[in-house]
Chain A
Amino acid sequence: MSKTILIGSPNSGKSLLFNKLTGLNQKVANFPGITVNISSGKSLANPAQVLMDFPGVYSLHAISGEETISVDAFYAGLKDPEVSCVVCVVDATRLEKGLIFALQVINACAEQKKPVVIAANMIDVLDGHGMSMDIDGLAGALKVPVVAISARSGVGLADLQALIANHRDTPSAFVSDIIATDDSVVHRQAQKLAANFGPKGDLLINSQTRLDRFFLHSWFGGVSFLFIMYLLFQSIFTWAAPAMDAVEAALQFAASVILPLLPSGAVSDFVADALFGGIGAFLVFVPQIFILTLVVGMLEDSGYLARAAVICHKPLRVFGLTGKSFIPMLSSVACAIPGIYAARTVDSPRKRWLTYLAIPLMPCSARLPVYSLLIAAFIPASAAFGGLVGWQGLAMVGIYLFGILCGLLVTAVVSRTNAALQTDLPFVLEMPPYRLPSWKPLLRNAWNRSKHFVTKAGKVIFMVTVVIWVLGYFPNQGASLGDSWLGYLGKMIEPLFAPFGLDWKYGVAILSSFLAREVFVGTLGTLFGIEGGEENIISLAEHIQNSGLPIGAGFALLVFFSIALQCVSTLAVLRRETGSWRLPAQLFVSYSIFAYAAAWLTFILVQSIAA
């Protein structure tokens, strides 16, 4: 087996190239530093060839812990006898910057006698603007093969694969004589090479600057940022609603067909309560996860997120964070796990640590089913402000903003009370070019996220609903939920949740949701299913409305779920990223206490207003 290393600067299109060559689905985005782990996969053209995608680094002179890990792994890879070739990906539209890094790579490869190929990516963007570069001239000057490619359109990939195969079959000695170790010499060489062989003109920058003047304008920039964020949250409700209705109708239709075919008794009750009531209640929210991931992906791919980081830098500094914290925080709106990984792009360890504190409070997609359910149960579906927006959409924006505000308040307080967290590292962020999003990878990513949501959370939800159903159905065959084993256990914990106006059923659902937040919906669906009987398949929101839950309890639940850290996966990933259980344990305990106190206060406040 022979291996090929793919290396390049952040946002050079390396991961998209890796996906094209291997057929895998590594996450790509138009933002520097999205790849955080070394991925490997077999080449589609030759399965005996393994490609390794290294995280993008600006230089082989590492300045952060993560860069050191990547650079050390690269040097270790060069010493691996199975590595037959190194492909250095450079962005042809920003050739000089790419060449500074490529010259460092050529130097490192020469020391280890490893062949290197330069892949000049994004050649389609140059073509689209009527620009070109002198590939043969650059190859002649560097004395290493240079191939023009477009990882996006697939242009030149066959040539690149042929070069990789050639190095595998007949590893050639390194012949480049353009090797310098002095940084200023490397810089001058790159400058000269880019001037001689790179694209001429600055059309790309001019068009980028025109858009930046709008999106980063002092007023238009702020207004457009708020408008884009508002659209993001409003779309979760309005765009997903028809798909959610369709899933719900399909489940009701399936229940009406399947249930009469089953013999009455425990089996029929199980299918009605645990499968249609529990699992079904959670499946309804999958379209929202899909649309949320799609919209966040569109923003990433368009290049807008880097501008949003610039807009947010100054306000986030007030809360002890940096503009770079915005990307992990926004990623956490889809899921905290990619958000925690994305926090590696925050180069200051102190700011990254503060970002970790904020991430679990970002309104993740696992909270979405709970929010949607409670909003549907307590907020009217009518339009507000002359039909411009819906009250439910506004409520969703409100609860999302509440979570974000809590996260910012926590980082503001902690950064001010801990002197070690008040120093800062310089803020330097590359502005990626604006691009039209590629729909195929975006749709695939949204599909994979939804699938992951169903398969990963679905397993937990299935197990919990089965346990909940068994405990709630026996020993009296569902005749009285209050007299079941679960009813007995639930009443024991009821005093814990009574201050929020919640009965034991909600208490059981909250406790089960500490495995994963979505379990709350499945557990509640199962409990109401057992209580309502099989003839009463109505939506869970209607069940909650009919249960007479006070409005203060509904708001208290929303507040509780927006703060509590009920996600085992988040705790495990935080442990992996920080190297100890200290931070996850501290966050779990402190956010549980914070959530409980805030929910209690909310209940008292809302009930007194309602009265």
Chain B
Amino acid sequence: MTLWDLKQGACATVDSFCSALQGEYRTRLSELGFHPGEQIACVLSPSLGAPKLYRVNNTVYSLDDSVASLIKVAC
């Protein structure tokens, strides 16, 4: 399951990154809080494929499918 599959209001734990995600972006996502083991909540999932809002710690980020579908999560 990837972060993009997470429904609005659901939480999951970051498991790992897909190999398609470049190393430097993995580091950046980790620094922003998308770190393996970290709990992420999907706070808003608009329709029509718009970027979704994810809460990590006390910060909300908007991620589109190109990156959220490369973060593997476990519920």
Q: List the A side residues contacting B51 at CB < 8 Å.
A: 310, 313-314, 323, 427, 429
**Footprint of B on A, CB under 8 Å?**
58-59, 61, 63, 93-97, 100-101, 183-184, 187, 191, 194, 198-199, 202, 204-205, 208-209, 212-213, 216-218, 221, 306, 309-311, 313-314, 323, 424-431
Q: List the A side residues contacting B29 at CB < 8 Å.
A: 428
Residue of B nearest to A221 (CB): B46
Select one of A96, A194, A198, A212 contacting B60, CB under 8 A. Answer: A212
- Using known A-B contacts A58-B32, A97-B32, A100-B31, determine if residue A209 contacts B44 with beta carbons closer than 8 Å: yes
Q: List 19 A-B contacts (CB under 8 A).
A: A61-B24, A61-B31, A63-B27, A94-B59, A96-B57, A97-B33, A187-B31, A208-B60, A209-B53, A212-B43, A212-B60, A218-B48, A313-B62, A314-B49, A424-B66, A426-B67, A427-B62, A427-B63, A429-B51
- Please measure, in the bound complex, the distance between the C-alpha atom of A291 and the C-alpha atom of B9, giving whole angstroms: 40
From DSSP, what is the main secondary structure of chain A's interface residues?
helix
Q: How far is the CB of B15 from chain A (nearest CB, A)?
A: 15
Q: List the B side residues contacting A95 at CB < 8 Å.
A: 58
Interface size on B, residues (CB 8 A): 32
- Please measure, in the bound complex, the distance between the C-alpha atom of A198 and the C-alpha atom of B58, giving whole angstroms: 10
Q: How far is the CB of A358 from chain B (nearest CB, A)?
A: 20
Q: How far is the CB of A10 from chain B (nearest CB, A)?
A: 11
From DSSP, what is the main secondary structure of chain B's interface residues?
mixed
CB pair A61 B58 closer than 8 Å: no
- Please measure, in the bound complex, the distance between the C-alpha atom of A95 and the C-alpha atom of B21, giving whole angstroms: 27
- Please measure, in the bound complex, the distance between the C-alpha atom of A61 and the C-alpha atom of B49, giving whole angstroms: 31
Q: List the A side residues contacting B46 at CB < 8 Å.
A: 216-218, 221
Q: List the A side residues contacting B53 at CB < 8 Å.
A: 209, 212, 216, 310, 431
CB pair A428 B63 closer than 8 Å: yes
- Using known A-B contacts A424-B66, A426-B64, determine if residue A187 contacts B59 with beta carbons closer than 8 Å: no
Q: List the A side residues contacting B57 at CB < 8 Å.
A: 94, 96-97, 191, 194
- Please measure, in the bound complex, the distance between the C-alpha atom of A191 and the C-alpha atom of B56, giving whole angstroms: 11
Q: List the A side residues contacting B70 at CB < 8 Å.
A: 426
CB pair A58 B31 closer than 8 Å: yes
Asked if B55 is at the interface of the complex by the 8 Å CB criterion, the answer is: yes
Q: How far is the CB of A134 from chain B (nearest CB, A)?
A: 16
CB pair A184 B35 closer than 8 Å: yes
Residue of A nearest to B28 (CB): A63
- Please measure, in the bound complex, the distance between the C-alpha atom of A427 and the C-alpha atom of B46, giving whole angstroms: 16
Render B33-75 as a binary contact track against A, CB cut-off 8 A, 1 for contact: 1010000000110111111010101111111101100100000
Residue of A nearest to B63 (CB): A428
- Please measure, in the bound complex, the distance between the C-alpha atom of A93 and the C-alpha atom of B49, giving whole angstroms: 30
Q: Beyond A100-B31, A314-B51, list 7 extra A-B contacts (CB 8 Å).
A: A58-B28, A58-B31, A59-B31, A216-B46, A216-B50, A313-B50, A426-B67
Select one of B60, B62, B66, B67 contacting A209, CB under 8 A. Answer: B60
Q: List the A side residues contacting B35 at CB < 8 Å.
A: 184, 187
Select one of A63, A96, A100, A314 contacting B25, CB under 8 A. Answer: A63
Residue of A nearest to B70 (CB): A426
- Please measure, in the bound complex, the distance between the C-alpha atom of A213 and the C-alpha atom of B51, giving whole angstroms: 13
Q: List the A side residues contacting B25 at CB < 8 Å.
A: 63, 425-426
Q: List the B side residues contacting A204 at CB < 8 Å.
A: 58
Residue of A nearest to B58 (CB): A94
Q: How far is the CB of B37 from chain A (nearest CB, A)?
A: 9
Q: List the B side residues contacting A94 at CB < 8 Å.
A: 57-59
Render B1-30 as a binary contact track against A, CB cut-off 8 A, 1 for contact: 000000000000000000001001101111
Residue of A nearest to B25 (CB): A426
CB pair B58 A96 closer than 8 Å: yes
- Using known A-B contacts A323-B51, A428-B63, A431-B53, determine if residue A205 contacts B58 with beta carbons closer than 8 Å: yes
Residue of B nearest to A204 (CB): B58
Q: List the A side residues contacting B43 at CB < 8 Å.
A: 205, 209, 212
CB pair B67 A428 closer than 8 Å: yes
Pick the most buried of B29, B30, B43, B59: most chain A CB atoms within 10 A of its CB: B59
Q: List the B side residues contacting A100 at CB < 8 Å.
A: 31
CB pair A427 B67 closer than 8 Å: yes
Q: List the B side residues contacting A428 at CB < 8 Å.
A: 28-29, 32, 61-63, 67
